[in-house]
Structure 1
Amino acid sequence: MSIRLINIGFGSIVSVNRIVAIVSPESAPMKRLVQEAREAGTLIDATHGRRTRAVLIMDSDHIVLSAVQPETVAQRIFSKEEVTEEGQGKA
């Protein structure tokens, strides 16, 4: 099994194989989930100070915040272009 990595904005990269869900941060349950992760120390803020547009729920119980739209993250997952383990683009 190869490791597939995608860019979630501003040079931040996550493993596609570890993503459970990509959701919008607007609903009250998502806001509560983010707050609980912050308190538990399992929140990873990859927004670089920008507005949170996507919440990535990982299989390790970590929550990753991204400034990229959920649709854009999904498109990057399903595109042929990917970031390899060595960090180089591959078609």
Structure 2
Amino acid sequence: MAKRLIPLLNRVLVEKIVPPSKTHAGILLLEKATKLNSGKVVAVGAGTHDKEGKLIPVSVKEGDTVLLPEYGGTQVKLGDKEYHLYRDDDILGTLHD
């Protein structure tokens, strides 16, 4: 049975995107050229509450591609896949085509 992790509060579960190390023609790319710390949002928590008790929802949604900080997050392994858990305010932005 596959496990599913649903983050609590303002946490976001992300699967990091591993960029290709070579082009379709077989040309090897430098590590610097391929390094963009991004990931795909797999699951989000409900959000957190402010001082008045109002719910502040998470700013990203499942399926978003996000820019991640170089360091941080908690590594989580579910089955044979590796994910990272971040706080909503640690995510730097969303990436769009």
How does the TM-score come out when normalised to structure 2? 0.25
Report which of the two structures shows the higher radius of gyration computed on alpha carbons: 2
How does the TM-score come out when normalised to structure 1? 0.26
Q: Which has the higher helix share?
A: 1
